[in-house]
Protein backbone atom coordinates (compact mmCIF):
# COMPACT_ATOMS: atom_id res chain seq x y z
CA UNK A 1 0.00 0.00 0.00
CA UNK A 2 1.31 3.47 -0.81
CA UNK A 3 1.38 5.94 2.09
CA UNK A 4 -1.41 7.92 0.37
CA UNK A 5 -3.79 4.94 0.21
CA UNK A 6 -3.03 3.75 3.74
CA UNK A 7 -6.00 4.46 6.04
CA UNK A 8 -5.40 7.35 8.44
CA UNK A 9 -4.62 6.30 11.98
CA UNK A 10 -4.94 8.26 15.18
CA UNK A 11 -1.17 8.74 15.09
CA UNK A 12 -1.44 10.54 11.74
CA UNK A 13 -4.41 12.81 12.55
CA UNK A 14 -3.66 13.36 16.26
CA UNK A 15 -6.00 13.87 19.22
CA UNK A 16 -7.56 17.10 17.97
CA UNK A 17 -7.84 15.78 14.40
CA UNK A 18 -9.87 12.90 15.81
CA UNK A 19 -12.12 15.22 17.83
CA UNK A 20 -12.76 17.34 14.68
CA UNK A 21 -13.64 14.13 12.80
CA UNK A 22 -16.05 12.94 15.51
CA UNK A 23 -17.63 16.38 15.78
CA UNK A 24 -19.25 15.74 12.36
CA UNK A 25 -21.44 13.10 14.04
CA UNK A 26 -22.42 15.33 16.96
CA UNK A 27 -24.55 18.09 15.40
CA UNK A 28 -26.31 20.13 18.02
CA UNK A 29 -29.93 20.07 16.84
CA UNK A 30 -31.25 21.57 20.04
CA UNK A 31 -31.59 25.35 20.48
CA UNK A 32 -30.68 25.01 24.14
CA UNK A 33 -27.13 23.92 23.30
CA UNK A 34 -25.34 27.25 23.74
CA UNK A 35 -21.92 25.62 23.36
CA UNK A 36 -21.33 22.07 22.15
CA UNK A 37 -18.00 20.38 21.37
CA UNK A 38 -15.01 22.69 21.09
CA UNK A 39 -14.68 24.49 24.41
CA UNK A 40 -13.63 23.61 27.96
CA UNK A 41 -17.20 22.48 28.71
CA UNK A 42 -20.64 22.28 27.09
CA UNK A 43 -23.15 25.02 27.98
CA UNK A 44 -26.80 23.95 28.02
CA UNK A 45 -29.62 26.40 28.64
CA UNK A 46 -31.99 25.20 31.38
CA UNK A 47 -34.01 28.44 31.71
CA UNK A 48 -33.80 32.05 30.55
CA UNK A 49 -31.55 32.88 33.47
CA UNK A 50 -29.47 29.74 33.99
CA UNK A 51 -27.38 27.33 31.94
CA UNK A 52 -25.83 24.03 32.93
CA UNK A 53 -22.10 23.61 32.34
CA UNK A 54 -21.02 20.01 31.74
CA UNK A 55 -17.56 18.58 31.24
CA UNK A 56 -16.13 15.07 31.41
CA UNK A 57 -12.50 13.97 31.68
CA UNK A 58 -10.72 10.62 31.63
CA UNK A 59 -7.68 9.84 33.76
CA UNK A 60 -5.82 6.58 33.16
CA UNK A 61 -3.13 4.99 35.31
CA UNK A 62 0.18 5.09 33.44
CA UNK A 63 -1.07 7.87 31.11
CA UNK A 64 -2.34 10.64 33.38
CA UNK A 65 -1.03 9.46 36.73
CA UNK A 66 1.57 7.13 38.14
CA UNK A 67 1.58 5.67 41.64
CA UNK A 68 5.37 5.39 41.47
CA UNK A 69 5.53 9.02 42.59
CA UNK A 70 2.07 10.14 43.68
CA UNK A 71 -0.41 8.82 46.20
CA UNK A 72 -4.07 7.93 45.61
CA UNK A 73 -4.97 11.09 47.52
CA UNK A 74 -2.74 13.19 45.24
CA UNK A 75 -4.39 11.67 42.16
CA UNK A 76 -7.91 12.32 43.46
CA UNK A 77 -7.08 15.93 44.24
CA UNK A 78 -5.34 16.64 40.94
CA UNK A 79 -7.99 15.02 38.74
CA UNK A 80 -10.82 16.80 40.57
CA UNK A 81 -9.02 20.14 40.06
CA UNK A 82 -8.61 19.39 36.33
CA UNK A 83 -12.40 19.11 36.10
CA UNK A 84 -13.18 22.11 38.29
CA UNK A 85 -10.78 24.18 36.18
CA UNK A 86 -12.89 23.56 33.05
CA UNK A 87 -15.89 25.14 34.83
CA UNK A 88 -13.68 28.05 35.99
CA UNK A 89 -12.65 28.68 32.37
CA UNK A 90 -16.32 29.19 31.41
CA UNK A 91 -16.90 31.66 34.25
CA UNK A 92 -19.23 29.26 36.04
CA UNK A 93 -19.93 27.88 39.50
CA UNK A 94 -19.04 24.18 39.88
CA UNK A 95 -21.78 22.24 41.73
CA UNK A 96 -21.87 18.47 41.20
CA UNK A 97 -19.34 15.73 40.45
CA UNK A 98 -19.87 12.14 39.22
CA UNK A 99 -17.05 9.59 39.34
CA UNK A 100 -16.96 6.44 37.20
CA UNK A 101 -14.05 4.07 37.73
CA UNK A 102 -12.67 0.70 36.73
CA UNK A 103 -10.40 -0.77 39.43
CA UNK A 104 -8.18 -3.89 39.46
CA UNK A 105 -9.68 -6.27 42.09
CA UNK A 106 -6.32 -6.52 43.89
CA UNK A 107 -6.28 -2.82 44.86
CA UNK A 108 -6.57 -2.09 48.60
CA UNK A 109 -9.76 -0.56 49.96
CA UNK A 110 -7.70 1.95 51.94
CA UNK A 111 -6.24 3.27 48.68
CA UNK A 112 -9.69 3.87 47.22
CA UNK A 113 -10.63 5.66 50.43
CA UNK A 114 -7.56 7.86 49.98
CA UNK A 115 -8.57 8.55 46.35
CA UNK A 116 -11.94 9.81 47.56
CA UNK A 117 -10.28 11.90 50.28
CA UNK A 118 -8.35 13.46 47.42
CA UNK A 119 -11.60 14.27 45.56
CA UNK A 120 -13.14 15.63 48.75
CA UNK A 121 -10.70 18.44 49.51
CA UNK A 122 -11.13 20.61 46.36
CA UNK A 123 -14.83 19.68 46.24
CA UNK A 124 -15.34 20.98 49.77
CA UNK A 125 -13.35 24.11 49.03
CA UNK A 126 -15.68 24.93 46.13
CA UNK A 127 -18.98 23.66 47.54
CA UNK A 128 -19.19 20.73 45.10
CA UNK A 129 -21.23 17.61 45.97
CA UNK A 130 -20.11 14.21 44.70
CA UNK A 131 -23.50 12.78 43.71
CA UNK A 132 -22.84 9.49 41.90
CA UNK A 133 -20.81 7.49 39.44
CA UNK A 134 -20.21 3.92 38.33
CA UNK A 135 -17.80 1.12 39.28
CA UNK A 136 -16.37 -1.81 37.35
CA UNK A 137 -13.42 -4.19 37.55
CA UNK A 138 -10.39 -3.37 35.41
CA UNK A 139 -7.90 -5.84 33.95
CA UNK A 140 -5.13 -3.27 33.67
CA UNK A 141 -4.73 -0.36 36.05
CA UNK A 142 -7.13 2.25 37.38
CA UNK A 143 -9.42 4.13 34.98
CA UNK A 144 -11.23 7.23 36.19
CA UNK A 145 -13.89 9.26 34.43
CA UNK A 146 -15.05 12.42 36.16
CA UNK A 147 -18.07 14.41 35.06
CA UNK A 148 -18.57 17.83 36.53
CA UNK A 149 -21.69 19.96 36.36
CA UNK A 150 -21.93 23.64 37.11
CA UNK A 151 -24.05 26.68 36.48
CA UNK A 152 -23.66 30.02 34.74
CA UNK A 153 -26.15 32.70 33.66
CA UNK A 154 -26.22 32.35 29.82
CA UNK A 155 -25.41 36.04 29.32
CA UNK A 156 -22.23 35.72 31.37
CA UNK A 157 -20.71 32.63 29.85
CA UNK A 158 -17.02 32.87 28.91
CA UNK A 159 -15.88 30.92 25.86
CA UNK A 160 -12.78 30.57 23.70
CA UNK A 161 -14.56 32.34 20.85
CA UNK A 162 -14.80 36.01 21.73
CA UNK A 163 -11.20 37.30 21.43
CA UNK A 164 -11.04 40.57 19.44
CA UNK A 165 -8.16 42.16 17.56
CA UNK A 166 -6.48 44.64 19.95
CA UNK A 167 -7.42 42.64 23.09
CA UNK A 168 -4.70 42.22 25.69
CA UNK A 169 -3.87 38.63 26.59
CA UNK A 170 -3.58 37.87 30.32
CA UNK A 171 -2.65 34.83 32.33
CA UNK A 172 -3.06 34.15 36.05
CA UNK A 173 -0.28 32.82 38.31
CA UNK A 174 2.92 31.39 36.86
CA UNK A 175 3.39 28.86 34.05
CA UNK A 176 5.63 25.80 33.72
CA UNK A 177 5.69 24.90 37.43
CA UNK A 178 3.60 21.78 37.01
CA UNK A 179 5.84 20.35 34.27
CA UNK A 180 8.92 21.09 36.39
CA UNK A 181 7.28 19.45 39.43
CA UNK A 182 6.36 16.38 37.38
CA UNK A 183 9.92 16.01 36.09
CA UNK A 184 11.32 16.21 39.62
CA UNK A 185 8.82 13.60 40.85
CA UNK A 186 9.64 11.27 37.93
CA UNK A 187 13.38 11.67 38.43
CA UNK A 188 13.16 11.01 42.16
CA UNK A 189 11.05 7.88 41.56
CA UNK A 190 13.63 6.58 39.08
CA UNK A 191 16.72 7.24 41.17
CA UNK A 192 15.55 5.90 44.51
CA UNK A 193 18.65 7.24 46.32
CA UNK A 194 17.62 10.84 47.00
CA UNK A 195 20.02 13.69 46.30
CA UNK A 196 19.94 16.52 48.83
CA UNK A 197 16.63 18.25 48.05
CA UNK A 198 16.94 21.61 46.33
CA UNK A 199 14.99 24.47 47.96
CA UNK A 200 12.71 24.87 44.90
CA UNK A 201 11.63 21.22 44.75
CA UNK A 202 8.85 21.23 47.37
CA UNK A 203 7.13 24.20 45.74
CA UNK A 204 7.26 22.73 42.21
CA UNK A 205 6.10 19.27 43.30
CA UNK A 206 3.19 20.86 45.14
CA UNK A 207 2.27 22.92 42.08
CA UNK A 208 1.98 19.66 40.13
CA UNK A 209 0.22 17.59 42.78
CA UNK A 210 -2.04 20.27 44.28
CA UNK A 211 -2.94 22.79 41.58
CA UNK A 212 -5.42 25.60 42.29
CA UNK A 213 -8.51 26.00 40.09
CA UNK A 214 -9.14 29.70 39.40
CA UNK A 215 -12.88 29.60 40.03
CA UNK A 216 -13.33 33.02 41.68
CA UNK A 217 -11.34 34.74 38.92
CA UNK A 218 -13.36 33.09 36.14
CA UNK A 219 -16.61 34.06 37.88
CA UNK A 220 -15.50 37.66 38.36
CA UNK A 221 -14.31 38.02 34.74
CA UNK A 222 -17.66 36.63 33.56
CA UNK A 223 -20.04 38.44 35.91
CA UNK A 224 -18.35 41.83 35.30
CA UNK A 225 -18.16 41.20 31.54
CA UNK A 226 -14.43 41.90 31.70
CA UNK A 227 -13.09 39.16 29.44
CA UNK A 228 -13.93 38.61 25.77
CA UNK A 229 -12.59 35.03 25.85
CA UNK A 230 -10.98 32.53 28.21
CA UNK A 231 -9.49 29.04 28.39
CA UNK A 232 -7.69 27.18 31.16
CA UNK A 233 -4.03 26.30 30.62
CA UNK A 234 -4.27 22.51 30.74
CA UNK A 235 -2.27 21.63 27.61
CA UNK A 236 0.54 24.22 27.89
CA UNK A 237 0.45 27.87 26.80
CA UNK A 238 1.39 27.18 23.16
CA UNK A 239 -1.43 24.65 22.73
CA UNK A 240 -4.08 26.56 24.64
CA UNK A 241 -3.42 29.90 22.87
CA UNK A 242 -3.83 27.96 19.60
CA UNK A 243 -7.22 26.66 20.77
CA UNK A 244 -8.32 30.17 21.76
CA UNK A 245 -7.10 31.79 18.51
CA UNK A 246 -8.61 29.06 16.35
CA UNK A 247 -11.99 29.37 18.08
CA UNK A 248 -11.90 33.20 17.84
CA UNK A 249 -10.47 33.26 14.28
CA UNK A 250 -7.65 35.61 15.27
CA UNK A 251 -3.86 35.67 15.51
CA UNK A 252 -1.71 36.69 18.47
CA UNK A 253 1.64 38.14 19.46
CA UNK A 254 2.93 36.86 22.79
CA UNK A 255 5.91 38.49 24.51
CA UNK A 256 8.36 35.88 25.83
CA UNK A 257 9.87 38.26 28.39
CA UNK A 258 6.44 38.86 29.98
CA UNK A 259 5.47 35.20 30.48
CA UNK A 260 5.23 34.80 34.28
CA UNK A 261 7.68 32.28 35.72
CA UNK A 262 8.18 31.42 39.36
CA UNK A 263 11.66 31.88 40.81
CA UNK A 264 11.54 28.16 41.63
CA UNK A 265 10.87 27.16 38.01
CA UNK A 266 13.68 29.48 36.88
CA UNK A 267 16.08 27.94 39.41
CA UNK A 268 15.13 24.40 38.35
CA UNK A 269 15.45 25.06 34.61
CA UNK A 270 18.75 26.92 35.17
CA UNK A 271 20.10 23.80 36.92
CA UNK A 272 19.35 21.84 33.72
CA UNK A 273 20.47 24.64 31.39
CA UNK A 274 16.95 24.65 29.91
CA UNK A 275 14.92 27.66 28.89
CA UNK A 276 12.03 28.13 31.37
CA UNK A 277 9.90 29.67 28.58
CA UNK A 278 9.81 26.24 26.93
CA UNK A 279 8.34 24.82 30.14
CA UNK A 280 5.63 27.50 30.07
CA UNK A 281 4.88 26.89 26.37
CA UNK A 282 4.90 23.09 26.45
CA UNK A 283 4.09 22.22 30.05
CA UNK A 284 0.54 21.14 30.77
CA UNK A 285 -1.60 21.00 33.89
CA UNK A 286 -0.89 24.48 35.25
CA UNK A 287 -4.68 25.14 35.41
CA UNK A 288 -4.14 28.88 35.25
CA UNK A 289 -6.63 31.01 33.31
CA UNK A 290 -5.67 32.55 29.98
CA UNK A 291 -8.06 35.34 28.98
CA UNK A 292 -8.36 38.34 26.69
CA UNK A 293 -9.75 41.76 27.59
CA UNK A 294 -10.33 45.11 25.88
CA UNK A 295 -7.35 47.40 26.68
CA UNK A 296 -9.66 49.84 28.53
CA UNK A 297 -10.26 47.17 31.21
CA UNK A 298 -6.59 46.76 32.14
CA UNK A 299 -6.90 48.81 35.34
CA UNK A 300 -9.85 46.63 36.42
CA UNK A 301 -7.72 43.51 35.98
CA UNK A 302 -5.03 45.18 38.07
CA UNK A 303 -7.62 45.84 40.84
CA UNK A 304 -8.94 42.27 40.60
CA UNK A 305 -5.43 40.89 40.87
CA UNK A 306 -4.89 42.91 44.05
CA UNK A 307 -8.24 42.05 45.65
CA UNK A 308 -7.93 38.29 44.92
CA UNK A 309 -4.19 38.35 45.69
CA UNK A 310 -3.45 36.49 42.47
CA UNK A 311 -0.81 37.48 39.97
CA UNK A 312 -2.32 38.43 36.58
CA UNK A 313 0.13 39.27 33.83
CA UNK A 314 -0.36 40.81 30.41
CA UNK A 315 1.61 38.55 28.04
CA UNK A 316 0.61 39.78 24.60
CA UNK A 317 -1.96 41.14 22.20
CA UNK A 318 -4.57 39.67 19.86
CA UNK A 319 -3.79 40.34 16.17
CA UNK A 320 -5.66 39.70 12.92
CA UNK A 321 -5.70 36.07 11.80
CA UNK A 322 -3.28 36.88 8.95
CA UNK A 323 -0.59 37.71 11.57
CA UNK A 324 -0.52 34.08 12.67
CA UNK A 325 0.61 33.07 16.15
CA UNK A 326 3.95 34.65 16.93
CA UNK A 327 6.24 34.82 19.92
CA UNK A 328 8.28 38.01 20.32
CA UNK A 329 11.66 37.24 21.82
CA UNK A 330 13.93 39.44 23.87
CA UNK A 331 15.90 41.63 21.46
CA UNK A 332 12.83 42.25 19.30
CA UNK A 333 12.94 39.27 16.89
CA UNK A 334 9.88 37.06 16.68
CA UNK A 335 9.18 33.49 15.67
CA UNK A 336 6.18 31.40 14.75
CA UNK A 337 4.70 29.73 17.79
CA UNK A 338 4.18 26.06 17.08
CA UNK A 339 2.05 23.90 19.35
CA UNK A 340 4.33 22.06 21.71
CA UNK A 341 1.62 20.62 23.88
CA UNK A 342 0.80 16.99 24.60
CA UNK A 343 -1.09 14.92 22.03
CA UNK A 344 -2.33 11.53 23.21
CA UNK A 345 -1.91 9.88 19.81
CA UNK A 346 1.28 11.35 18.40
CA UNK A 347 4.31 9.06 18.49
CA UNK A 348 6.36 11.69 20.35
CA UNK A 349 3.43 12.76 22.55
CA UNK A 350 3.94 16.31 21.21
CA UNK A 351 1.66 18.07 18.77
CA UNK A 352 3.23 19.88 15.87
P1 LIG B 1 -10.09 19.93 27.97
O2 LIG B 1 -8.61 19.71 27.75
O3 LIG B 1 -10.44 21.35 28.24
O4 LIG B 1 -10.68 18.97 28.95
P5 LIG B 1 -10.37 18.47 25.51
O6 LIG B 1 -9.17 18.93 24.79
O7 LIG B 1 -10.35 17.15 26.20
O8 LIG B 1 -10.79 19.60 26.55
O9 LIG B 1 -11.59 18.45 24.50
C10 LIG B 1 -11.81 19.48 23.53
C11 LIG B 1 -13.28 19.47 23.14
O12 LIG B 1 -13.62 18.25 22.46
C13 LIG B 1 -14.25 19.55 24.33
O14 LIG B 1 -15.34 20.38 23.95
C15 LIG B 1 -14.71 18.12 24.52
O16 LIG B 1 -16.02 18.05 25.08
C17 LIG B 1 -14.69 17.56 23.10
N18 LIG B 1 -14.41 16.11 23.04
C19 LIG B 1 -13.26 15.48 23.41
N20 LIG B 1 -13.34 14.15 23.17
C21 LIG B 1 -14.57 13.92 22.64
C22 LIG B 1 -15.27 12.73 22.20
N23 LIG B 1 -14.69 11.51 22.26
N24 LIG B 1 -16.52 12.88 21.70
C25 LIG B 1 -17.11 14.10 21.67
N26 LIG B 1 -16.51 15.25 22.07
C27 LIG B 1 -15.27 15.17 22.55
MG1 LIG C 1 -9.99 22.96 29.58
138 and 106: one domain?
A: yes
The alpha carbon of 247 and the centre of ligand 1 are apart by a number of angstroms equal to 14
Q: Is the pLDDT of residue 350 over 60?
A: no
Contact 95, 127 (CB under 8 A): yes
Structural domain tally of the chain?
2
Q: Is the pLDDT of residue 161 over 60?
A: yes
Helix (H) or strand (E) holding 264: helix 263-271
Mutate to test the pocket of ligand 1, among 37, 85, 87, 89 (most ligand atoms within 8 A of CB): 37
Query: Does residue 196 belong to any structural domain of this protein?
Result: yes
Mutate to test the pocket of ligand 1, among 14, 15, 16, 19 (most ligand atoms within 8 A of CB): 19
Query: Does residue 23 belong to any structural domain of this protein?
Result: no
Task: Indicate the SS3 state at residue 230.
Answer: strand
Interior angle at CA 272, CA 280 and CA 278, nearest 5: 20
Q: Is the pLDDT of residue 75 over 60?
A: yes
152 and 213: one domain?
A: no
Q: Is the pLDDT of residue 1 over 60?
A: no
The alpha carbon of 334 and the centre of ligand 2 are apart by a number of angstroms equal to 28
- CA distance linking residue 147 with residue 152, whole number of Å: 17
Counting atoms of ligand 1 from 1, which one is nearest the CA of 57? Answer: 4
Query: Does residue 13 belong to any structural domain of this protein?
Result: no
Report the CATH number that the domain containing residue 110 is assigned in CATH. 3.30.1330.10
Query: Does residue 177 belong to any structural domain of this protein?
Result: yes
Q: Is the pLDDT of residue 242 over 70?
A: yes
The alpha carbon of 313 and the centre of ligand 2 are apart by a number of angstroms equal to 20
Query: Pocket residues for ligand 1 (CB within 6 Å)?
Result: 19, 22, 26, 37-40, 57, 86, 234
43 and 140: one domain?
A: yes
Residues in the chain: 352
Q: Is the pLDDT of residue 298 over 70?
A: yes
Neighbours of 252 (CB within 10 A): 26
Q: Is the pLDDT of residue 6 over 90?
A: no
114 and 198: one domain?
A: no
Q: What range does the domain containing 202 cover?
A: 168-336
Place 190 in a pLDDT band, splitting at 50, 70 and 90. confident
Counting atoms of ligand 1 from 1, which one is nearest the CA of 82? Answer: 4
190 and 86: one domain?
A: no
Q: Whose CA is nearest to atom 22 of ligand 1?
A: 19
Query: Does residue 120 belong to any structural domain of this protein?
Result: yes
The alpha carbon of 86 and the centre of ligand 2 are apart by a number of angstroms equal to 5
Report the CATH number that the domain containing residue 181 is assigned in CATH. 3.90.650.10
102 and 237: one domain?
A: no
Query: Does residue 310 belong to any structural domain of this protein?
Result: yes
Query: Does residue 304 belong to any structural domain of this protein?
Result: yes
Q: Is the pLDDT of residue 76 over 80?
A: yes
202 and 327: one domain?
A: yes
Query: Does residue 18 belong to any structural domain of this protein?
Result: no
175 and 151: one domain?
A: no
Closest CA to 132 of 163, 99, 156, 94: 99
pLDDT, residue 4, reads: 61
151 and 179: one domain?
A: no
The alpha carbon of 167 and the centre of ligand 2 are apart by a number of angstroms equal to 21
Q: Please give the average per-residue pLDDT across 252-272, as a whole number.
A: 97
251 and 133: one domain?
A: no
pLDDT, residue 268, reads: 96
Amino acid sequence: MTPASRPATLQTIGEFGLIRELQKYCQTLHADVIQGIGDDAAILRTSNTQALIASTDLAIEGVHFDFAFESFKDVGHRIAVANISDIAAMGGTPKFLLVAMAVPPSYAVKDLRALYQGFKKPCQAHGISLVGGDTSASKAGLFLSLTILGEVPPKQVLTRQGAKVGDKVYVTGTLGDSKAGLQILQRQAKHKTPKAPQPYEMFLKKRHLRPTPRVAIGQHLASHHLAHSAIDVSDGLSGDIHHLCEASQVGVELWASHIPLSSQCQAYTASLRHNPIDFALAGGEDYELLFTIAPRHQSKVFDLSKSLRTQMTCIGEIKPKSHGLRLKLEGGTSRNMTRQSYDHFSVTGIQS
